[in-house]
Amino acid sequence: MEAAATDCLFLEINLISAQGLQPPGGNRRLQAYAIIWIDSYVKLRTLVDRVGGENPTWNDKFLFRVHPSFLADDSPCAYSVEIYAAGGWYLPDSLVGSVRFLVGNLRLLSRHSDRPVFDAVGIRRPSGRFQGVLNVGAAVLGSVPAVAARALAIRPAIGYRSLMSEGGGPKAKKRRPLRERNKASSSSSASSVASSDEERAAVDADAAFCGPCVLGFPRRLHPARNLDRVPWATESSSSQPSPPWTAEIPRS
C-alpha cells in the first residue's frame, strides 16, 4: 500500500549491530538488546543477543509512520535508542548506553525511496562518556505490505517480528515458565507412582508366597492362578514338609 506524500511517510530503521560495548560487572557475559522509539509512549525492542558479547548483532527492522516535516534537513526531530544488558532470572537489566540521532542528518527526502542509508553513531554511557558504536540503517519506503499499513493505521510504530506473528507468519513456540514445567513434571511423576502402586497392590492380591523366609519378609514367587502347582499351598498346614533350613542342629 502506497503512502501519500501529503499524508504520511513510512520510515524504516534497522538496528544492525554494535561494537565495543562496556561489559557488565561481576564477571557476567554481556547479553545485549536495544530499545528504540520516536514517541516515548511507543517503544520497540530487539531480541537479546546471547552470543555476541560486547559486539552484539540484532539486524532488527522497525517501521514508523511519520510526517514529511519529521524528515526535513533542518528538522530537530530524532529517534532514540537505549542498549541494555539482560540480567537473567535474578538480576535487573542494566543500561549500557544510549543514542539520540537526528534523522535530518541523513537527508532521506533528497534520496530515492527504498534505498537505505547506513551510519555509525557513538554510544553514550550513563556516566556521559562515549564508548562503542551503533550501526544503523534508515530508509523511506514508497509502499509497505497491506498488513503493515493496517498495523500502522492503529499505532505509530511496529516491529517486523511482531508484524510477522500478527500476519500469520511463523511464530516462536512459547515455553512455559520453569516453575510450571517442574510442577507438571512432579505431578505426572506422582501419578505414575500412584498407578504403579495400584498395579502392584492388584498383583499382590492374586499372589501366593513361598512360605517362611530367613530374610524376614515374604517373597512373591507364584501367582494365585498357579496354586495347584505349589504343593504346600493346597495341603493342610500339618502335612506341609519342613524346609531343610528349619531342621534343628544337634548340640554336642
Residue 251 scores a pLDDT above 80: no
Confidence band (pLDDT; 50, 70, 90) for 73? confident
Q: Give the residue, 248 or 170, on which the prediction is more confident.
A: 248
CA distances (Å), origin 243, targets 211, 219, 223, 248 = 9, 15, 21, 11
Name the grid cell of 141.
519506503
Report angle CA 178, 183, 187 to the nearest 5 degrees: 150
- Res 170: pLDDT: 47
Q: Which CATH number fits domain 9-165: 2.60.40.150, 2.60.40.420, 3.40.50.720, 1.10.10.10?
A: 2.60.40.150
pLDDT range class, residue 137, cuts 50, 70, 90 = very high
**Cβ 101 vs Cβ 54: under 8 Å:** no
Q: How confident is the model at residue 105 (pLDDT cuts 50, 70, 90)?
A: confident
Taking CA atoms, 152 is separated from 65, 112, 157, 159, 210, in Å, by 7, 22, 6, 10, 81
- DSSP-assigned beta bridge partners for residue 120: 135
Residue ranges covered by each domain of the chain: 9-165
More confident residue, 224 or 243: 243
Mean pLDDT value across residues 146-169: 81
Assess contact for 134 and 112: CB atoms under 8 A: no
Contacts of 182 by beta carbon, 8 Å cutoff, 6+ apart? none
* Arithmetic mean of pLDDT, 113-117: 86
Q: Calculate ∠ Cα 133-139-143, nearest 5°.
A: 150
Asked whether 109 and 77 are in contact (CB, 8 A), the reply is no
Taking the alpha carbons of 151, 156, 159, 162 in that order, is the dihedral positive or negative?
negative
Of 3-12, 92-101, 116-125, 175-184, which range is least confident?
175-184
